[in-house]
Structure 1
Amino acid sequence: MTHSRKVVIVTGATSGIGEAVVKAFAATKASLVLVGRDRERGARTLASVQKLNCPAELLLGDVTDSAFADQVIASSIEWFGKVSVLVNSAGIIRRGSAVETTDDDWLRTFETNVNGVFYFSRAAVKAMTRTGGGSIVNIASTVGLVGCSGLAAYCASKGAVVLLTRAMALDHANEQIRINAVCPGAVETPMLVSAYGKLISSEEILKKNVDLIPQGRLATPKEIASLTLYLASEAARHITGAALPIDGGFTAG
């Protein structure tokens, strides 16, 4: 039986932006499928959603596995009857110039940030075409639009996400499937201070990022989630193929 609520799948659902996205959709009383790798964090996020009387399930696995992506979509349909929205939020960051980036860093970055988005989006589109459409929102980055020193693999991967978003939006526009990308700048998440090593403190990292933002502050995960929620809503029904910066003016200069 088709569920009357929106059915929303969120990858990277157990921390940072993904967790904020889950909470934003939970406030709308959507049915939720949380995808992550950390069982303990996943259980906490799931419990917080269920306290809001939202039907929700947690699936643990690796987004770089196409069979897992297919399983998540199939399970969502089995539990809730359809897939209305997919939010691809899972991602990793490896810092370094091209010369400093190892083969393993490059491959792992693309496997998670690009392959994962592709596998889940491909599976979701197949399901959405059978139920009259839907919406996919990919969490990309401003550095997929303008580039940034010291992030060769991450910039390249997020640039790929932006162009995959645009290509798929064109391919599926006449099937009532909208596909957009949210492009955050620096956000207050654990990922922002990760992989810098011990030569710079968390406080210095935050100040370094804030100094680049015209508004003089970092975005919060809740702000990124609000834009994601809007793009998935009926209010944005004429928006597809967009890559929207949310960066306090960083890309305006």
Structure 2
Amino acid sequence: MAGDLLDGEVAVVTGAASGIGREIALAYADEGADVVVADLQEEPREGGDPTHDRIEDETDRTARFVECDVTDTDDLAAAVSAADDLGGVDVMVNNAGIFRSQEFLDVTEDDYDQLMDVNVKGVFFGAQAAAKRMVEDDGGVVINMSSVAGLAGSASFVTYCASKGAVRLLTYSLAAELGPEGVRVNAIHPGLIDTAMTTEDVPILGTEAGEGYMQTIPSRRFGQPEDVADAALYLASDMADYVNGESLVVDGGMTNTN
């Protein structure tokens, strides 16, 4: 059922063609926001209609697709500029990221650079592009997608943990810097979420290892993209008006009980 938590707002969501970003974009539109879908490709990895088409077909909001490589600062600037046609960016969700498992001694410089460029540089300059507009206007909201891997180290995920830990501290620093300008900056730390990242990129769900992980989750289920989208909706809305520089963990209780 459609609501009005983000009535009249304009959101830019990177990596919104698929997975968690897709659900965030759809949730925002359901609550009254126009959305810029910024991604490398239009087609969702899980199949179905493109996110921007679904928003236009299923809600009364406007959506734009912008081809965006988050490692390219010009692309990030173009995604934020696309929001100008809709009234200007109010909410920036730096969601695009890549997930990789690799033994530390096998990581090459190219491997490291690619992951850090997407997961850290993309968030840093995505936040910067949006903040430039928000500081000039009446403020806004920046939400950075970290991970439970940004809270605790994990063998075989050293580079990924390094990238997501960087996003966490970047978020806190930006909250300190931009808070006086009326810009709130928070991070979301998803746990094991059922997306192509955990079924294809690094197969966990549906494996014996996945069943082992399940036993470490007090809620005894893996998360769904909608679970993270609900958190992103809260942080973007006025309900979180006094929430700034915070990490919202969405992991079914896994991190704090093990």
Tell me how far 1:61 sits from its aligned partner. 2.2
Unaligned runs of 5+ in 1: none
Displacement, 1:205?
4.5
1:140-179, aligned counterparts within 5 Å?
140-179=146-185
1:215 corresponds to: 219
* 1:37 and 1:60 in contact (8 A); partners too: yes
CA distance in 2, matches of 1:195, 1:100: 18
Displacement of 1:206 after TM fit? Answer: 3.1
**1:99 aligned counterpart, secondary structure:** helix
Q: How does 1:1-253 map to 2 (within 5 A)?
A: 5-41=8-44, 44-51=50-57, 52-77=59-84, 79-196=85-202, 202-253=206-257
Aligned mates of 1:19, 1:73 — CA distance in 2: 17
1:196 positional shift: 4.1
Structure 2 counterpart of 1:158, which letter?
K
Contact 2:140–2:183 (CA under 8 A) maintained in structure 1: yes
- Describe the SS at the equivalent of 2:184: strand
Deviation per CA, 1:40-76: give whole Å up to 9, x if none. 3396211110011211100012110011111111221
Using the alignment, how far apart are the partners of 2:187 and 2:205 within structure 1? 31
1:183-208 superposed Cα distances (whole Å, 9 cap, x missing partner): 011001110133447xx884334323
How much identity, in percent, do the aligned residues show? 35
Point out where structure 2 has 5 or more consecutive residues left out of the alignment: 1-6
Aligned counterparts of 1:110 and 1:46: Cα–Cα separation in 2: 28
Code of the aligned partner of 2:253: G
Matched residues, number: 247
Q: CA deviation at 1:178?
A: 0.1
Please report the TM-score for the alignment, with normalisation by the length of structure 1. 0.93
Match of 2:18, as an amino acid? S
Consecutive aligned runs of 4 or more in structure 1 exceeding 2 Å deviation: 39-43, 193-197, 200-206
CA RMSD of aligned residues (A): 1.7
Q: Give the letter for the 1:75 counterpart.
A: A
TM-score when scaled to structure 2? 0.91
> 8 Å contact 1:94–1:105 — kept in the other structure?
no
Q: Deviations over 1:134-169 (max 9, x none)?
A: 001111101101121210111000000000000000
- 1:193 and 1:205 in contact (8 A); partners too: no
- Per-residue CA deviation, residues 14-43 of structure 1 (Å, 9 max, x unaligned), is 111000101110111211100111133396
Distance in 2 (alpha carbons) for counterparts of 1:202 and 1:218: 11
Partner-residue secondary structure (3-state), 1:108? helix
